[in-house]
Structure 1
Amino acid sequence: MRLLLMGPPGAGKGTQAAVIAQCFAVPAISTGDIFRANVAQQTELGVAAQAYMDAGEYVPDEVTNAMVADRLAAGDCAGGFLLDGYPRTPQQVDELDAILALAGAGLDAVVLLEADTDELVSRLLARSRDQGRADDTEPVIRRRLEVYAAETGPLADRYAERGLLTTVDGLGSVEEVTERILTVLGSVPAQRAATSAP
């Protein structure tokens, strides 16, 4: 199973990624984890990324793409993976397509977690209070959600056009959301078979 999990900040993506990946016995891969691992190990890509981060700049797509390609080439990804936080731009979608094409593979499904904006703001404000992050004010959080929507909307549209996108309500308990995701993923192979049948 090769999965992509998308969703706005506060939708519970990281939590669900870990649970769903375990259910399918595939590694959960987040760009944050890849960055931290490369920086900690002082790999060539990690050193390059660190230079940009230290300068307060975005890490360029080519560095991020190379890190993801390197991670997906690892042995534990041979039987599938769950990507969380990548791709984030149309260019990264193209790069992921190329990486998978080289491996003779493709995505099985893209799950988009959706949640009411006001609920997400409440969740993120509570999280910032718990973590003592005074800079996470409501205007800042709302701006982050706007940027996410602007960046990710086109990606969701592209995957929807391919028949890969499924939208899941991200509100509720962790168990409830997991059950919704597993339900739609359980129907994915049947749907794909039905659409490809003569």
Structure 2
Amino acid sequence: MTNIVLFGPPGSGKGTQAQNLIEKFNLKQISTGDLFRFNIKNHTDLGVLAKSYIDEGELVPDQVTIDMLREEVQKPTDAAGFIFDGFPRTADQTAALENIVKEDLNSEISLCLSLVVEDELLVERLLHRGKSSGRTDDSNETIIRARIQEYYKKTAEVAELYKKQGKYVEINGVGEILDISEKLYNEVEKIL
């Protein structure tokens, strides 16, 4: 089983590359954002619990997210593995994910792929996306720069953990989409 943690700051092309990896290697993407939306929309026990925190303006505790993640990996799938997107963001979340993968899938995290793009290009890409998508968080340069810095702050310790395990690979996220995809494919193929 191939289990990939995919990193990339806002505007790095992570969403596009995740889809390409899914198609190439028959993986299932687990995005914490999607999990929250699904559980809240469908009024699951975990969704109701998460919404109660969100409605109070509080952060949803890690354990709620971890429980959603565990439920998701336990669902039947014919996928050859998973891409984890948006999780883990901290050392504690990394330990929790590794436990889930070990206990529920009898596997391990295979690789942490990180798309690297210089900040100025990220800002340019997001402002451009904001014009075409209407997303307000992609229309304000100050907000964009704050989101990028928050991403770096959150993911630094996780990157260090995967570097120590020899599972962390940075990929230049600048260039033609298919060229970047090929670089990612090559890294995945090394572990198959």
| TM-score of the aligned structures, taking structure 2 as reference length | 0.92
Match of 2:59 in 1: 58
Match of 1:102 in 2: 103
Superposition pairs of residues 31-46 of structure 1, within 5 angstroms: 31-46=32-47
Following TM superposition, by how much is the alpha carbon of 1:58 offset from its aligned partner in structure 2, in angstroms? 2.1
Q: Report the identity percentage.
A: 36
2:156 maps to 153
Output one character per residue of 1:105-148: Cα deviation in whole Å (capped at 9) or x when no partner: 10111101110100001111111222224454111111111111
Question: Does the 8 Å CA contact 1:26/1:76 hold for their aligned counterparts?
Answer: no
**Residue 19 of structure 2 aligns with which residue?**
18
Q: Which residues of structure 2 form unaligned runs of 5+? A: none
Letter in 2 for 1:157: E
Cα 1:63/1:50, change in 2 over 3 Å = same
TM-score with structure 1 length normalisation? 0.89
2:72 maps to which residue? 71
Match 1:137 to one of 134, 137, 140: 140
Q: SS where residue 27 of structure 2 aligns?
A: coil
The equivalent of 1:172 in structure 2 is: 175
Asked if the contact 1:52–1:58 (Cα under 8 Å) also holds between the matched residues in 2, the reply is yes
Unaligned runs of 5+ in 1: 190-198
**Contact 1:11–1:120 (CA<8 Å) still a contact in 2?**
yes
Measure how far apart 1:55 and its partner are. Answer: 2.9
SS at match of 1:83: strand
Q: How does 1:105-120 map to 2 (within 5 A)?
A: 105-120=107-122
Question: What is the one-letter code of the residue matched to 1:57?
Answer: E
Give 1:77 deviation, angstroms: 6.8
Residues 131 and 79 of structure 1: is their aligned pair in 2 closer, same or farther, counting only changes over 3 Å? closer
Q: How many residues align?
A: 189
Quote the RMSD (CA, aligned, Å).
1.6
